[in-house]
Chains A and B, each alone.
Chain A
Amino acid sequence: MSSDVLLQIRDLQIEGRAGEDWLPIIKGVNLTLKRGEVLGLIGESGAGKSTLGLAAMGFARDGCRISGGEINFDGIDLRTASERAKRNLRGQRIAYVAQSAAASFNPAHKLIDQYCEVPVLGGMSRSKAADEAVTLYRKMQLPDPEDIGFRYPHQVSGGQLQRAMTAMAMACHPDLIIFDEPTTALDVTTQIEVLAAIRDIVRDFNTAAIYITHDLAVVAQMADRIKILLRGDEVEEADTRAMLAAPKAEYTKSLWAVRSFTRPEQPPAEGAPLVSVQGVTAGYGKAQILHDVSFDIHPGRTVAVVGESGSGKSTVARVITGLLPPREGQVVFDGQPLPPDYRARTRDQLRQCQMIYQMADTALNPKLPLRELIGRPAQMYLGLKGRALDARVRDLLALIELEPDQYIDRLPSELSGGQKQRIGIARALAAEPRLIICDEVTSALDQIVQEGILKLLDRLQREFGLAYMFITHDLSTVRAIADDVVVMQLGRVVEQGPKPEMFTPPHAPYTDLLLSSVPEMDPDWLTRLLAAR
């Protein structure tokens, strides 16, 4: 066999336990990876990307088993290798970078101590490992490379933590690194830095990598080849440029098409605004989060509030809903100033403004059936009972495109992520509101599911004349659904206006940075962008 091939997976089959039975998760996938090559793995959640990534280390999660096929890493058969042999490979020759660095670091130890653990196990001296750590931290362009290692995980930002984790994976100069959605949890502006750092370091060390993601634009920057998975089956594999230029399979084409949803543009707003946020200043304790924030939301229109995490977008929502009374300024709803505290608002004022949350998992009570989850607002605000309530819940389920008879008595745990988010929408609609605040409602979802949610929200808006306040950090979502855009940075409104205006230059410098940071499908985009900056 040629020594050029680092990892060879043949006809791999992995099964997962479901009660008494074993269900296939990976159904005979082949994968070949040469030294120094980067392979992008793409698929929706549940497609088996992460499972395949872990299998490349000869590892199967609890409740899963590798039931067939071959995994050959540089001449070592990982299916028959002893646990001990595999343990020696992991960390030393194969490394893994998880999606959430914040959850993967041990919060009780300093970064550099965690960095040194594996090299020292591999026989390197502690001081040499620490020196190398600093070198790698510098390469990863972490600020203060000499000292950053002596901080605890909670003392550095998410993007820095992700880079520190990549540095940790590089510690033993492994032959293969598996990146499992390393930038999904990051802001666009941070994402760029991490992507650039990962790409450089992988090239410098001539490391092979498997890059798992659901973001096509990201993978276009990173990978030499792309493999697409659908429900445990391979759909297609080709060189990045070939794949982008001419996808063959229907499914691939549908993936590419996702980004095309845009709602028709509306004429600029006129008339009185539904909600007017006027000079709001607010904060928690001594910390002041919002500084003199003002903007309007007009009936039947979508205002997108954009910014990085920590820019105060969610805090604005808390001020409007009354969870956080502002220190100065006020919120005017339909000409009437709202009481600052939600407890002082009338039931009708509460009804008119509903909220949809980012994480449907925590926003729906797991112990209540959909009938009660959706029915409760209708029962409370509109006084529906018995038959009328039942009929209303069924109508709402039909509105969000779920079959009423099949779903009405289910619990949230029996739904998929996208379906849960739809229930969140139905619950908001049940109150017959005039304003719905959507807090990052699509950011925890796959692109295809996102698309469905955005289309649904758009349809409902036209049907019921709703106003949306759409909080997001994802500019492609803004492009798709917004009428007006408010850009926030560090608790201030940097720029605001109708969407067409906002997406054509000249911009405020921060808006420009945000806009240019949105990954594009063009594989040369990152290179060009970095050259331009």
Chain B
Amino acid sequence: MNVLIFLVLAIAASIPLSYAFRAGLVRVLPHEKALVARDMPLTAAFGIMVIGVYVIVAFAAPLLAPFPERAVVGSQFQPWDSTYLLGTDRLGRDMLSRLIYGARNTVGIAFATTALAFVVGALLGIWAALRGGWLDQLLSRFVDALMAIPSLIFSLLLLTIFGTSVLTLILVIAAVDATRVYRIARSVSQGVVVMDYIEAARLRGEGNWYLIRHEILPNALAPLVAEFGLRFCFVFLTISSLSFLGLGIQPPTADWGSMVRDNATLITFGDMTPLMPAGAIALLTVAVNFVVDWQLYRASGLKEQG
């Protein structure tokens, strides 16, 4: 019951908060950007605000956290009190501090992974669309083969083979996700490649790199940006689920997925503490999707009329 009341209050509070945030943005930003900010829906303002808070928390973690990330500072499973605001975990580490450091690790790794997946996937996808022929066939069939394997099982397999360092984690998930990005980039670019301006640029004697950077990428950007947001959420959830399964970010590094697993026993006692990291994941996912929805809406052509 308390949880429900808390949720309702949180949602109610977030509305005026997002409203104030948007009004603030309009004030602060230079004219052109302020116009965009003025027209954005409240949900998008909320999303940007939440993402902003996460980024600040991630960067300022050592300043914000009351205790170090890995230190055992109290006894096990202490309840919420004035010293340990969210209690302690099963080893006696401060939950709040780990939650704050977790933002840094989980979000940071997810971002690096998504960025890598995009660079690789988008470039290969555009290149395949541009060149066509055997190169396109080779890349596409290879990607098809990779996509045929369920992604979680495939990542589990790769992680078991290559070990579970942060670097392999990033590389493996990026490789799996790059296949999805490749598909989208290729199909969007195929629509662009047939345009007369590409033919004109080819006849001018432009190289592939110029074509990709100046002629195709700007025209394929909107759907790719939207995809970036969604992909980020998926990667984020994949990392968390891998951590939950014990193959993701390894202890004692704080990570939201493994934090849920570690303290899951508390749920049986009616304590909501283990749900906090899960809530943090959910909140960020929702926030990112709000922003993505707004970007998709803008990309759907309304922006062109401006």
Contact = CB atoms under 8 A, between A and B. Distances in A.
Q: Tell me whether A and B are bound partners.
A: yes
Contacts of B133: none
B196 A376 contact: no
A388 interface: no
Interface in B113-130: none
B252 interface: no
A342 B206 CA distance: 11
B200 A372 contact: no
A365 B215 contact: yes
B168 to A, nearest CB: 38
Contacts of B31: none
A355 interface: yes
A177 to B, nearest CB: 32
A367 interface: yes
B214 A368 contact: yes
A359 B197 CA distance: 10
Contact of A364 (B197, B202, B203, B204): B197
B219 A380 contact: no
Nearest to A347: B205
Given A365-B219, A367-B218, A380 B206 contact: yes
B31 to A, nearest CB: 15
A417 interface: no
A362 B197 contact: yes
Nearest to B202: A342
Most buried by A among B196, B199, B200, B219: B200
Nearest to A373: B197
A321 B206 CA distance: 15
Contacts of A256: none
Would you call the interface of chain B mostly helix, strand, loop, or mixed? helix
Contacts of B215: 365
Contacts of A46: none
B205 A350 contact: yes
A431 interface: yes
B304 interface: yes
A357 B200 contact: yes
A305 B219 CA distance: 34
B195 interface: yes
A347 B202 CA distance: 11
B219 A363 contact: no
B196 A362 contact: yes
Given A342-B203, A350-B203, A380-B206, A367 B196 contact: no
Given A323-B203, A380-B206, A363 B197 contact: yes
Interface in A338-357: 342, 345, 347, 350, 355, 357
Contact of B196 (A321, A363, A372): A363
Given A323-B199, A380-B206, A367 B304 contact: no
B196 A350 contact: no
Interface size class of B (residues with CB under 8 A): 10 to 19
B125 to A, nearest CB: 18
A366 to B, nearest CB: 7
Nearest to B197: A365
A347 B204 CA distance: 8
Nearest to A427: B200
Given A365-B215, A380-B206, A355 B200 contact: yes
Nearest to A372: B214
A427 B214 CA distance: 16
A376 B304 CA distance: 24
A366 B198 CA distance: 12
Nearest to B198: A365
A324 to B, nearest CB: 12
A426 B197 CA distance: 14
A350 B203 CA distance: 7
Most buried by A among B195, B205, B214, B304: B205
A463 to B, nearest CB: 23
Given A362-B196, A362-B197, A363-B196, A368 B218 contact: yes
A88 interface: no
Interface string B196-239: 11011111111000000011001100000000000000000000
B196 A413 contact: no
A377 interface: yes
B83 to A, nearest CB: 55
Given A350-B205, A366-B304, 8 more contacts: A347-B205, A350-B203, A357-B200, A363-B197, A364-B197, A365-B201, A377-B204, A380-B205
Interface of A: 321-323, 342, 345, 347, 350, 355, 357, 359, 362-368, 372, 376-377, 380, 413, 427, 431
14 contacts: A347-B205, A350-B204, A357-B196, A359-B196, A362-B196, A362-B197, A363-B195, A363-B197, A365-B195, A365-B197, A365-B214, A365-B215, A365-B218, A367-B219
Interface of B: 195-197, 199-206, 214-215, 218-219, 304
Shortest beta-carbon contacts, A-B, top 8: A367-B218, A363-B196, A365-B197, A362-B196, A350-B205, A357-B196, A362-B195, A347-B205
